[in-house]
């Protein structure tokens, strides 16, 4: 029996309208609507075409409905610039990631969520409280993704077709999720991760669409979280020169423009000095990229998950089959991690009793 909601989920994941899917299936739009509302079951031939057109195994459409992730609960960067179809596709990717996370939690003991949730805090204070709770002091953060995973945030990558989506986050029940665009520079991806952490900490109870004020708050949180005031003042001179800014960005592993903005925010650059620095950095290519940038960050948790699975003879293809997904959809969540295929000659090791505990440091 085909589950109607799974057809809708798959269609939205591929950014197709009802009319577009109907045209590709060579059926009427009314038929697709009937399939999605449970009024009519697709024939065996139509199910086969659904799987082919939408790029999901036929078994995907037989699975129970996925957990709903309301779009209003999702904090999108630049929501107004995204079409409804792009937002729906990204949210659908989130639904699949929630299902993947459920499988992970059933298989492994993952870090428990440990985030403060604060009502209407000042972003600077919220960042300081989060750092204090996690025992970070004022030191630069070596790896933001590892840090979030260690404190129970489930971090996934966005597939390449979501290039227009910067990042987004949401709480699903008591579990926080963050999705990052891997097409950006590592420095800007770190800032996106901290920005989404700001939404999770400061806007956990907000179910309405986040507006410009919430985005500004999350940006301010990210700047303070990555570049604490006391740390910046201790390491940077007043009115630093461009060369000093470029040296400083390596300390906090942020973009040159993000550090420049933070220096201006802390009154360490005047308005004129800030504008002049931005013009010079743009001339040097720092508006479009980060020359001599840092290495990209990736998931430590997922690396450990698939290393453990590989030891027991299970490949990414096996996991995708259990999730009733294509391998490309699963790989799209995993920061481009290449998981070695398991040889058929390999003798799987017996799994230990219970769920293995995974730690992220």
Distance between CA 180 and CA 159 in Å, rounded? 9
pLDDT at 346: 41
Which among 270, 136, 255 is positioned nearest to 189, based on CA atoms?
255
Buried b (16+ CB within 10 A) or exposed e, 141-176: bebbbbbbbbbbbbbbbbbeebebbbbbbbbbeebb
Q: In sequence order, what DSSP letters do the residues of 121-138 get, joined into one string? A: --HHHHHHHHHHHTT-TT
Could you tell me the domains of the chain? Answer: 1-65 (1.10.260.40), 93-226 (1.10.10), 229-283 (no CATH)
Q: Taking a C-beta distance cutoff of 8 angstroms, is the pair 165, 158 a contact?
A: yes
**Residue 119: what pLDDT?**
78
Question: 179 by DSSP, 3-state: which?
Answer: strand
Task: Name the pairing type of β-strands 154-158 and 175-181.
Answer: parallel
How many Cα atoms are found within 13 Å in the side-chain-facing hemisphere of 197?
34
User: What is the SS3 assignment for 140?
Assistant: coil
Tens digit of pLDDT at every position of the chain (361 positions): 999 999 999 999 999 999 999 999 999 999 999 999 999 999 999 999 999 999 999 999 999 998 888 777 787 766 656 788 888 898 999 999 999 999 999 999 999 999 998 877 799 999 999 999 999 999 999 999 999 999 999 999 998 877 788 889 999 989 999 999 988 999 999 999 999 999 999 988 654 446 788 899 999 999 999 999 999 999 999 999 999 999 999 999 999 999 999 999 999 999 999 999 999 999 999 999 999 899 999 999 999 999 999 998 998 999 999 999 999 999 999 987 754 433 333 444 444 456 676 666 5
């Amino acid at each position: 029996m085909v589950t109607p909601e799974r057809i809708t989920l798959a269609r939205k994941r591929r950014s197709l309208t009802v009319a577009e899917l109907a045209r590709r299936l060579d059926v009427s739009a009314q038929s697709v609507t009937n399939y999605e509302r449970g009024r009519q079951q697709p024939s065996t031939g139509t199910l086969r075409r659904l799987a082919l057109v939408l790029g999901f195994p036929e078994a995907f459409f037989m699975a129970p409905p996925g957990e709903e992730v309301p779009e209003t609960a999702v904090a999108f960067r630049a929501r107004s610039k995204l079409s409804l179809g792009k937002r729906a596709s990204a949210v659908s990717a989130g639904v699949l990631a929630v299902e993947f996370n459920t499988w992970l939690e059933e298989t492994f003991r993952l870090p428990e969520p440990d985030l403060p949730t604060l009502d209407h805090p000042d972003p600077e204070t919220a960042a300081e409280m989060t750092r204090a709770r996690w025992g970070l002091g004022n030191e630069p953060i070596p790896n933001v993704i590892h840090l979030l995973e260690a404190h129970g945030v489930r971090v996934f990558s966005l597939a390449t077709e979501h290039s227009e989506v910067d990042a987004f986050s949401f709480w699903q029940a008591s579990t926080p999720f963050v999705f990052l665009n891997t097409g950006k520079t590592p420095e800007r991806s770190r800032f996106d991760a901290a920005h989404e952490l700001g939404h999770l900490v400061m806007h956990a109870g907000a179910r309405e669409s986040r507006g410009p004020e919430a985005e500004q708050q999350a940006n301010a949180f990210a700047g303070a979280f990555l570049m604490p005031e006391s740390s910046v003042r201790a390491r940077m001179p007043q009115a630093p020169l461009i060369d000093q800014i470029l040296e400083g960005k390596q300390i906090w592993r942020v973009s040159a423009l993000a550090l420049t903005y933070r220096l201006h925010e802390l009154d360490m650059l005047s308005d004129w000095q800030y504008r002049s620095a931005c013009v010079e950095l743009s001339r040097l290519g720092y508006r479009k990229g980060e020359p001599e940038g840092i290495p990209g960050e990736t998931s430590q948790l997922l690396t450990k998950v698939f290393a453990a699975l590989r030891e027991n003879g299970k490949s990414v293809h096996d996991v995708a089959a259990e999730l009733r997904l294509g391998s490309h959809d699963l790989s799209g969540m995993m920061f481009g991690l290449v998981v070695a295929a398991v040889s058929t000659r390999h003798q799987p090791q017996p799994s230990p009793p219970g769920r293995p505990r995974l730690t992220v440091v």
